[in-house]
Structure 1
Amino acid sequence: MSDSFNHLYRDHHTWLYQWLRRRLNHAEDAADLAHDTFLRVLKKQDRLHFEQPRALLTTVAKGILINWYQRKAIEKAYLDELAQHPQYYEITPEQTAAAVEALYLIYQLLGQLSARQRQTFIWSQLEGLTQQQIADRLGVSTRTVMRDVVSVLAKCLSVME
């Protein structure tokens, strides 16, 4: 660990924690996200400049905060869906955490796909459209639809490993 990172942590950890706490209204979450922020800075310290430490920390923390809110939204949607199906109430907290993590990874993956691949995947996997229906909607061949679905499913499997 470099002296510049140690100095950054020592001088700005309390400030960052308080900045996050004001946004989250939850001490434990603020502590976790402050920790995650410094971990990300530590991992990339050789590529970062510490001339404006609070600007750096704020930028990194905002990205982490966005991811945190996205994950919370996915978790809430998952739990809301479970609440509509009481037969699933026997799911353990570990299973819930694993499901939320899987959904979040797929959510991130969908953001990296082309618009056509994303739409093809959603129509085929979530709406149950046939390859022909998707091909007609997109104005492409069924072979292209099949290739897109297979490609996205392979990417889903790779992020789940």
Structure 2
Amino acid sequence: MSQSRFNDVFISQRISLLRTLERMVNNHSTAEDLMQETYLRVSRALGERAIDHLEPFVFQTARNLALDHLRARRIHSRTMVDDVPPDVVESIAAPASSAEDAAHAEQLLERLNVRLSQLSSRQQQIFILSRLHGHSYLEIAEKLGVSLSTVQKELKLIMTICISVADRSKGH
């Protein structure tokens, strides 16, 4: 099947596909992004092999991407909540902290910086993209060319390191 035939199918099914994605992810902007990714994935697949039933393939590809997005979002939100205990978050910085608390926080950040600098380059990228830039696990996986599972495992390891640094500093 040719690329031009795919373009015709994609254009004719665009509205229906977009509505399907919007229902699944409940966000128009995300649905548009998933549409673009669907187009790219199906185009790539067409370059690799013949696809007999193009319309169902397009919708299945879009559905799979939406499900991956939802799964990554669910994992990301669960990880953000579950990985760092509330007492650790609360002990990092208090608005009315004493000089001793400020010194303790500075020491904690120094130890944390040392431990994070010992991570591999990929681990550092994953940490920065996730925790500082707020990228989803799926976005990170695609950006770095690794599996979603790799991103999850690396972040779990990194958060374990962060928690161990925080736990050791409690006994300051």
TM-score, with length taken from structure 2: 0.50
1:108 partnered with 2:165:
no
Q: Distance in 2 between the 1:36 and 1:75 partners?
A: 20
Greater RCO, CA 8 A, separation 6+: 2
Q: Could you say which residue in structure 2 is the equivalent of 1:10?
A: 11
- Per the TM alignment, residue 19 of structure 1 is displaced from its structure 2 partner at its CA by 1.1
Q: Which residue type is aligned with residue 95 of structure 1?
A: L
Equivalent position SS for 2:38: helix
Judged with a 3 Å threshold, the aligned counterparts in structure 2 of structure 1 residues 54 and 93 are, in CA distance, closer, same or farther, namely: same
Return 5+ residue gaps in structure 1 as ranges. 112-117, 127-161
1:136-147 alignment, distance < 5 Å: none
- Per the TM alignment, residue 109 of structure 1 is displaced from its structure 2 partner at its CA by 4.2
TM-score, with length taken from structure 1: 0.53
Q: Deviations over 1:11-30 (max 9, x none)?
A: 11221101111222211111
Q: Distance in 2 between the 1:107 and 1:25 partners?
A: 22
Q: Could you say which residue in structure 2 is the equivalent of 1:22?
A: 23
Q: Could you say which residue in structure 1 is the equivalent of 2:134?
A: 97
Judged with a 3 Å threshold, the aligned counterparts in structure 2 of structure 1 residues 30 and 48 are, in CA distance, closer, same or farther, namely: farther
Judged with a 3 Å threshold, the aligned counterparts in structure 2 of structure 1 residues 71 and 31 are, in CA distance, closer, same or farther, namely: same
Kept in 1: contact 2:18–2:32 (CA 8 A): yes
Return 5+ residue gaps in structure 2 as ranges. 94-127, 161-172
Identity %: 17
Report which of the two structures shows the higher radius of gyration computed on alpha carbons.
2
Judged with a 3 Å threshold, the aligned counterparts in structure 2 of structure 1 residues 96 and 78 are, in CA distance, closer, same or farther, namely: farther
How many equivalent residue pairs?
Answer: 113
Equivalent position SS for 1:97: coil
Kept in 1: contact 2:38–2:62 (CA 8 A): yes
Q: Could you say which residue in structure 2 is the equivalent of 1:59?
A: 60
Q: Which residue type is aligned with residue 80 of structure 2?
A: L
Q: Distance in 2 between the 1:62 and 1:97 partners?
A: 24
CA RMSD of aligned residues (A): 4.0
- Per the TM alignment, residue 52 of structure 1 is displaced from its structure 2 partner at its CA by 3.2
